[in-house]
C-alpha cells in the first residue's frame, strides 16, 4: 500500500514538474516577413518580448512586438511604424531594454530623412508608447550602436562619433572623431560592473583587422586599445562583456565562417575555439553565467541543427564543453535567457531553408536543455526518439537508442548532478540498474553518438 501511495505521489510530481512545458509542447516559431528576418528577443520581468521588422510599400518599414508569458502564451502584440518621406521612415529596433519608469525601451533611427536621428521609445506593459526621447545626435545607418549605461546611454555613430547621453537627452561627454585612434566603430557593450564600455570594430584601411577599445564610462577616456588578428574581411555581429572584466567579439566573414575573440581586462587578445571533439559547433553567442562559465549558443554543423552547450573558457583560448544539446530545428540558437529553474532558447532558422529563411523560434527548456519539443508540430521533418521502458521502473529499465553506430548514456538527477555514465557501446539497447545509493525520484536520461543528443525523463521507484 505504501508503494502504491508513493507511485501516486511520484506521478503527481511528474505532472507538476512537466506542467511548465504545457504551453511549450513544441518550438514556438513565427514568420519575420520581409528581408529583415533576424528577430530581437529579450526578457522583461517575467515576460519574453520578440521584435522583428516588416517592409510594407516603398519606404514603409514596421516593427512588430510579440509578448509571451513565462508559459509561452502570447499575451500581447502590436505593430509600430511610420511611413512617408516627411516623417520617420524607419523604426529600427537596435535593442530592447527594460527602461526606467517604463516596461521596455525600443531604440530606433530615422535614416531616410535629411537629418539622421536616433530616438528611444518608452512603452508600458500594454505595449503602448508612453514617451519618446529625441536625441540630438546625428548618425549614419551603418556602423552604429546604442547601449544602456546605468541611467544613461552610450551612443555610437557611424560618422566616427561616440557619446554618453543622459536620460533627459543632455550630453555627458562626447568624442568627435574616433578616427584619431584609427578605428571604425561597429558594436558596443558595457562592462558587467557598469564602469566601462567596450567598442569593437575594424581598423581603418585594414578591414581584416579586429580592434577593441576600452573606455571609461564616467569620462569617455580611452583606457586601452588593441588590435586583433588579420583574417578575411567581414563584420562583427555581437559583443559580450564577461564577469572577468573582459569582452568577447563574435565575427563573421563573407563565407559565413564564425570566429570568437576574447580580450581580457588588460586588453590581451586570444582567438577562442571549441575543444577538438566539438569543432563542428558553430558558435553564435556566449551568455555569461559566472566567472569563466557560459551558456554557448550556435549550430551543430552535421545536420545544421540548433544547438546549445554549457561551457568553460580555459586558458582564455579553449571552450571546454560540460554539457551539449541539439534540437530538431535547422538554424542557429542566437540567445539563451536564464529564468528561475529553466532557460529560454531563441534563434532564427537557417537562411538556406527557402521559405523558412525568415523564421524565428523560441523554446523553453529545463537547466539541462530538455524541452519536450513535439517534432510533428515543427516546420522541419520528424526525428526519432529515445525510449525508456518500463517507465516508472522498480529495479531496471531498458534504454533504446534509435540510430546506428556507437553511442553512450549519461543519467542526471533534477539538480543536474551526473548519476551514471556508460562507456561507448554499439548495441541498440542498454539496461540501467541503479546502484543501492541511488534514491527514488525523477531522472533525465541523455544518449549521444557525438552528432546528436536525445533525452528522456524516467521515474525510479525502489
Question: Strand order in 387-389's β-sheet?
Answer: 387-389, 397-400, 429-432
pLDDT, greater one: 224 or 21 = 224
> 42 in helix, strand or coil?
strand
**pLDDT at residue 246 in the model:** 92
Report whether 47 contacts 30 (CB < 8 A): no
What distance in Å separates the CA atoms of residue 89 and residue 111, rounded to the nearest whole number?
Answer: 8
Q: Could you report the per-residue pLDDT of 186-210, keeping only the tens digit for each? A: 789 999 999 999 998 877 655 577 8
Query: Which residues, 6+ apart, have CB-to-CB distance to 153 below 8 Å?
Result: 120, 135, 146, 147, 164, 165, 167
**pLDDT at residue 217 in the model:** 94
Beta bridge partners of 387: 400
What distance in Å separates the CA atoms of residue 332 and residue 346, rounded to the nearest whole number?
Answer: 9
Report whether 96 contacts 106 (CB < 8 A): yes
Of all helices (H) and strands (E), which one includes residue 261? strand 258-263
What distance in Å separates the CA atoms of residue 401 and residue 416, rounded to the nearest whole number?
Answer: 22
Mean pLDDT of 280-285: 88
pLDDT band, very low/low/confident/very high, at 329 (cuts 50, 70, 90):
confident
Report whether 166 contacts 151 (CB < 8 A): yes
**pLDDT at residue 11 in the model:** 39
Neighbours of 65 (CB within 10 A): 20
Q: Could you report the per-residue pLDDT of 112-123, keeping only the tens digit for each? A: 555 566 778 888
**pLDDT at residue 30 in the model:** 56
Q: Does domain 387-460 have CATH number 1.10.8.60?
A: no
What distance in Å separates the CA atoms of residue 435 and residue 175, rounded to the nearest whole number?
Answer: 66
In the chain, % of residues over pLDDT 90? 9
Query: Which residues, 6+ apart, have CB-to-CB distance to 368 below 8 Å?
Result: 323, 325, 412, 416, 444, 446, 455
**The pLDDT of residue 380 is above 50:** no
Q: Could you report the per-residue pLDDT of 141-186, keeping only the tens digit for each? A: 455 788 888 888 988 876 667 889 888 888 899 888 776 666 777 7
Q: Could you report the per-residue pLDDT of 349-363, keeping only the tens digit for each? A: 665 544 445 567 788
**The pLDDT of residue 128 is above 70:** yes
pTM of the predicted model as reported, rounded to 2 decimal places: 0.71
Using only C-alpha atoms, the chain has a radius of gyration, in whole angstroms, of 24
Report whether 429 contacts 444 (CB < 8 A): no
**pLDDT at residue 206 in the model:** 58
Query: Which residues, 6+ apart, have CB-to-CB distance to 179 below 8 Å?
Result: 160, 204
Task: Tell me whether strands 293-300 and 184-190 are parallel, antiparallel or unpaired.
Answer: unpaired
**pLDDT at residue 241 in the model:** 93
Mean pLDDT of 382-406: 76
Beta bridge partners of 190: 197
Which class for 424: exposed (0-12), middle (13-18), buried (19 or more C-beta within 10 A)? Answer: exposed
Cis peptide before 393 (omega within 30 of 0): no
Mean per-residue pLDDT over the chain, rounded = 75
Q: Where are the domains of the chain?
A: 387-460
**pLDDT at residue 9 in the model:** 40
Query: Which residues, 6+ apart, have CB-to-CB distance to 68 below 8 Å?
Result: 28, 47, 48, 49, 50, 74, 75, 362
Mean pLDDT of 218-231: 82
Report whether 294 contacts 288 (CB < 8 A): yes
**pLDDT at residue 143 in the model:** 58
Residue 421 to residues 253, 407, 432, Cα–Cα distance (Å):
39, 11, 10
**The pLDDT of residue 7 is above 50:** no
Which is nearest to 366 in space by CA: 325, 335, 399? 325
Amino acid at each position: 500500500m505504501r508503494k502504491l501511495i508513493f507511485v501516486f505521489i511520484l506521478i503527481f510530481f511528474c505532472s507538476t514538474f512537466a506542467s511548465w512545458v504545457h504551453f511549450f509542447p513544441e518550438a514556438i516559431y513565427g514568420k519575420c516577413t520581409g528581408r529583415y528576418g533576424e528577430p530581437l528577443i529579450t526578457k522583461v520581468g517575467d515576460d519574453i518580448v520578440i521584435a522583428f521588422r516588416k517592409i510594407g510599400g516603398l519606404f514603409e518599414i514596421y516593427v512588430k512586438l510579440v509578448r509571451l508569458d513565462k508559459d509561452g502564451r502570447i499575451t500581447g502584440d502590436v505593430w509600430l511604424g511610420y511611413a512617408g518621406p516627411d516623417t520617420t521612415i524607419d523604426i529600427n529596433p537596435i535593442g530592447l531594454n527594460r527602461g526606467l519608469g517604463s516596461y521596455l525601451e525600443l531604440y530606433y533611427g530615422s535614416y531616410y530623412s535629411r537629418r539622421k536621428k536616433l530616438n528611444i521609445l518608452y512603452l508600458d506593459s500594454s505595449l503602448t508608447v508612453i514617451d519618446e526621447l529625441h536625441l540630438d545626435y546625428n548618425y549614419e545607418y551603418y556602423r552604429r550602436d546604442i547601449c544602456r549605461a546605468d541611467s544613461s546611454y552610450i551612443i555610437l555613430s557611424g560618422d566616427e562619433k561616440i557619446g554618453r547621453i543622459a536620460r533627459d537627452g543632455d550630453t555627458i561627454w562626447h568624442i568627435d572623431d574616433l578616427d584619431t585612434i584609427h578605428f571604425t566603430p561597429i558594436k558596443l557593450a558595457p562592462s558587467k560592473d557598469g564602469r566601462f564600455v567596450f567598442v569593437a570594430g575594424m581598423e581603418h584601411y585594414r578591414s581584416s583587422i579586429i580592434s577593441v577599445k576600452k573606455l571609461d564610462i564616467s569620462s569617455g577616456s580611452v583606457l586601452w586599445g588593441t588590435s586583433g588578428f588579420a583574417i578575411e574581411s567581414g563584420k562583427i555581429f555581437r559583443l559580450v562583456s564577461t564577469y572577468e572584466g573582459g569582452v568577447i567579439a563574435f565575427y563573421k566573414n563573407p563565407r559565413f565562417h564564425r570566429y570568437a575573440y576574447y580580450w581580457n581586462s588588460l586588453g590581451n587578445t586570444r582567438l577562442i575555439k571549441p575543444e577538438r571533439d566539438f569543432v563542428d559547433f558553430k558558435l553564435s553567442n556566449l551568455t555569461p553565467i559566472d566567472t569563466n562559465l557560459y551558456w554557448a549558443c550556435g549550430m551543430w554543423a552535421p545536420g545544421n541543427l540548433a544547438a546549445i552547450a554549457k561551457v568553460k573558457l580555459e586558458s582564455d583560448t579553449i571552450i571546454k564543453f560540460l554539457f551539449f544539446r541539439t534540437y530538431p530545428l535547422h538554424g542557429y540558437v542566437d540567445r539563451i535567457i536564464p529564468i528561475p529553474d529553466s532557460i529560454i532558447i531563441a534563434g532564427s532558422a537557417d537562411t538556406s531553408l527557402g521559405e523558412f529563411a525568415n523564421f524565428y523560434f523560441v523554446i523553453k527548456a529545463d537547466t539541462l536543455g530538455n524541452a519536450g519539443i513535439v517534432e510533428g508540430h515543427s516546420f522541419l521533418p520528424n526525428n526519432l526518439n529515445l525510449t525508456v521502458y518500463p517507465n516508472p521502473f522498480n529495479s531496471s529499465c531498458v534504454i533504446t537508442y534509435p540510430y546506428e553506430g556507437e553511442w553512450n548514456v549519461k543519467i542526471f538527477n533534477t539538480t543536474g548532478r551526473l548519476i551514471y555514465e556508460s562507456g561507448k557501446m554499439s548495441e541498440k539497447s542498454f539496461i540501467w540498474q541503479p546502484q543501492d545509493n541511488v534514491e527514488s525520484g525523477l531522472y533525465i536520461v541523455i544518449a549521444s553518438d557525438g552528432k546528436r543528443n536525445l533525452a528522456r525523463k524516467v521515474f525510479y521507484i525502489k
